[in-house]
Chains A and B, each alone.
Chain A
Amino acid sequence: TKSSDSKDEL
């Protein structure tokens, strides 16, 4: 799981 995708949340 790329950790960058979790950055779509505020």
Chain B
Amino acid sequence: MNIFRLAGDMTHLASVLVLLLKIHTIKSCAGVSLKTQELYAIVFATRYLDILTSFVSIYNTLMKLIFLGSSFSIVWYMKYHKTVRRTYDRDQDTFRHWFLMLPCLLLALLIHEKFTFFEVLWTFSLYLEAVAILPQLVLLQRTRNIDNLTGQYIFLLGGYRGFYILNWIYRYFTEPHYVHWITWIAGLVQTLLYADFFYYYFLSWKNNKKLQLPA
């Protein structure tokens, strides 16, 4: 464990807790894409299949449980909570996220480190995580501006993957044979997807005005 990875995990934890807190406190999920939340629940479900079979550390297992619990709770709130579900604008959140899952599954069947059930699903979860934010970013474009909690959520989510890239660089130089191209490329693509959002987030912060994404 290195400081970059710890910072990444804490930022990731903060992003899901910020979102869960927002939804639980104000009983609203306006501006949040259910599609992205469903994709994240699938990412964690396919990423942590080995939670019962392989034990790495208390920290690792605890974080996996928190991520699984929070992502499924957010989906539950948005789909089934009597008050929250009414604030979900389904006619704006129309990204066909199944179109994201199929290419990721096909790619995972083609490019992976080992052709085993767990490894292919784990690789699928990596590819899916890279693109899972797309429905949310599309929704933001549609709704034009975002409230600061959703902005913080995306900002933290992008930051977590940025820290992970620093972690991979650090591990590459400090651990012999630590080479995982698939993880690195997926993580880089994911961070690049956030890059333009970061740019507009920074502009709005600098000019101290509401975040307006270009059409």
> A interface vs B, CB < 8 Å?
1, 3-10
B57 CB contacts on chain A under 8 angstroms: 8
A7–B9 alpha-carbon span in the complex (Å):
14
Going nearest first, the 9 A-B pairs with the smallest beta carbon separation are A3-B113, A6-B180, A1-B177, A8-B56, A3-B114, A10-B63, A1-B179, A10-B9, A6-B183
Nearest chain B residue, comparing its CB with the CB of A1: B177
B9 and A1 contacting across the interface, CB-CB below 8 Å: no
Given contacts A3-B113, A3-B114, contact A10 B177 (CB under 8 A): no
- With A3-B113, A8-B57 already in contact, 6 other A-B pairs whose C-beta atoms are closer than 8 Å: A1-B179, A5-B178, A9-B5, A9-B167, A10-B47, A10-B60
The residue from A1, A3, A7 contacting B56, defined by CB atoms under 8 A apart: A7
A contacts with B: majority SS = helix
State the Cβ distance, A5 to closest chain B Cβ, in Å.
8
**How many B residues touch the partner, as a band?**
20 to 34
Nearest chain B residue, comparing its CB with the CB of A9: B5
A3 and B60 contacting across the interface, CB-CB below 8 Å: no
A1 CB contacts on chain B under 8 angstroms: 177-180
State the Cβ distance, B116 to closest chain A Cβ, in Å.
9
B119 and A3 contacting across the interface, CB-CB below 8 Å: yes
A6–B113 alpha-carbon span in the complex (Å):
10
